Structure 1
Amino acid sequence: MDDKVRRIPPTLATLRAATHDAGFTMSCEERTGSLLAVLAASRPGGRILELGTGVGEGTAWLVSGMDATSSLVTVELDATVQTIAREQLGSDPRVTFVTGDGGDWLEGYDGEPFDLVFADTWPGKFTHLERALELVAPGGTYLIDDLLPQPSWPDGHEASVKLLLAELEERQDFRCVRLAWASGLLMAVRSGNVGCGHDLA
């Protein structure tokens, strides 16, 4: 069985063209996107948080899985790249775009928790991890990607990834699985009193 993605969001082709023109190289890969769509679809009426809009490829995948009563907040520091996402997806009333530092947003947010948190940037992942996990609702999912070594990693980043995984493994309030698939994923569900698995090669 292959893992080729066969169901693509209708806005993805336009976003990819804009991504190429902008020279942006950090969009989530296709298999990760397909998982985002499935996770969004698993939460009818769900509240979703994306940290790191980029040009909106991950956003498009999430939107493609959401039902009419779901909502998405997506946060991005770089206004230039987020403008691409706003142009393609900004007319969807289910999506709220926030331009600003993800760490500042996490620290200042005082609303309801989220059923799905996708952390695709440093805040909520390598910084402000505790705050991001606090915002996962009971039974909700926390997802991170880019955990397998990549040529674009800066010096010392592999050590940061190992520290992040070790910290998550020590938690007793999430059930976690690490997947040596796509760019390397960790998915964690808030459930309490269980530790993380060891499934990432």
Structure 2
Amino acid sequence: MFDHVAEVVGSHKEIASASADLGFSMSVDVQAASLLRTLARLKPGGKFLELGTGTGLSTAWLLDGMDEQSTLISVDNDLACQAIAEKFLGVDNRLQLICQDGEEWLNANTESFDFIFADTWAGKYLQLNKALSILKPNGIYVIDDMLPQPNWPEGHQAKADRLIAQLDSRDDLILTKLAWSTGLVIATKKG
């Protein structure tokens, strides 16, 4: 019934293969990626930010959902991973890949965004307030991996629980927590 969700098209399949060759196993899963693509369509002409490019799998899905007037800045500090994203996605003129520490990038950034996917520590566990401060009113903020994962280090569940409590306590967000995929939180900033 839901086979279309598992479809991997275009550069997605190539990125997944190159990720496996590199030994990178932290890419977004297909369910979350499909949701990112759908949510991206809600922000025509939008400014998108991805914190944690990885090898570009979620980047590719975001680009699939974005219209031609939208732009995406994707930040990651791993040059080998970002080289894969550059190889398969670098020709897309809507995309700007930045190889830099996410915290440093957030500290220096002066832009605001319609959509933020925080898929690394920066903008999620670190500098949450900074990330949410650059989210425009009615903007969408998405995080994943909020359900226990096999690669979580000892004590990580407590960090995830604190993050959820922080998001729940904010009065400037409308929040939905999904116990689906790897555990997603989708928030919209009140206008």
Q: TM-score, normalised by structure 2?
A: 0.97
- Once the two structures are TM-superposed, the CA of residue 8 in structure 1 deviates from its matched residue by 3.5
In structure 1, the residue matched to 2:126 is 127
User: Is the 1:9–1:61 contact (alpha carbons within 8 Å) kept by the matching residues of 2?
Assistant: no
Equivalenced residues, count: 191
In structure 2, the residue matched to 1:14 is 14
**After the TM superposition, which segments of 4 or more aligned residues of structure 1 sit over 6 Å from their partners?**
none
- Once the two structures are TM-superposed, the CA of residue 10 in structure 1 deviates from its matched residue by 1.1
Cα separation, 2, equivalents of 1:7 and 1:42: 21
Q: Which has the higher helix share?
A: 2
User: Is the 2:6–2:31 contact (alpha carbons within 8 Å) kept by the matching residues of 1?
Assistant: no
Cα separation, 1, equivalents of 2:100 and 2:6: 34
Cα separation, 2, equivalents of 1:3 and 1:175: 31
**SS of aligned partner of 1:31:** helix
In structure 2, the residue matched to 1:182 is 181
In structure 2, the residue matched to 1:79 is 79
Cα separation, 1, equivalents of 2:173 and 2:23: 37
- Once the two structures are TM-superposed, the CA of residue 176 in structure 1 deviates from its matched residue by 0.2
Cα separation, 1, equivalents of 2:177 and 2:157: 16
In structure 1, the residue matched to 2:48 is 48
1:50 is aligned with what amino acid? E
2:118 is aligned with what amino acid? A
Structure 1 gaps, min length 5 = 193-201
Structure 2 gaps, min length 5 = none
1:141 is aligned with what amino acid? I
User: Is the 2:6–2:30 contact (alpha carbons within 8 Å) kept by the matching residues of 1?
Assistant: no
In structure 2, the residue matched to 1:168 is 167
User: Is the 2:140–2:188 contact (alpha carbons within 8 Å) kept by the matching residues of 1?
Assistant: yes
**SS of aligned partner of 2:124:** coil
User: RMSD of the alignment, in Å?
Assistant: 1.2
User: Is the 2:37–2:64 contact (alpha carbons within 8 Å) kept by the matching residues of 1?
Assistant: yes
In structure 2, the residue matched to 1:157 is 156
**SS of aligned partner of 2:5:** coil
**SS of aligned partner of 1:61:** helix
Cα separation, 2, equivalents of 1:52 and 1:6: 23
In structure 1, the residue matched to 2:26 is 26
In structure 2, the residue matched to 1:116 is 115
Higher relative contact order (CA 8 A, sep 6+): 2
Cα separation, 2, equivalents of 1:46 and 1:82: 23
2:11 is aligned with what amino acid? T
Percent of aligned positions that are identical: 45
- Once the two structures are TM-superposed, the CA of residue 7 in structure 1 deviates from its matched residue by 5.0
- Once the two structures are TM-superposed, the CA of residue 2 in structure 1 deviates from its matched residue by 4.3
- Going from structure 1 to structure 2, the CA distance change for 1:9 and 1:2 (only over 3 Å counts) comes to closer
Q: TM-score, normalised by structure 1?
A: 0.92
**SS of aligned partner of 1:189:** strand
Deviation sequence 1:20-68 (CA, Å, 0-9, x none): 1000010000010001101111111011000000000000000001111
Cα separation, 1, equivalents of 2:131 and 2:3: 30
2:162 is aligned with what amino acid? L
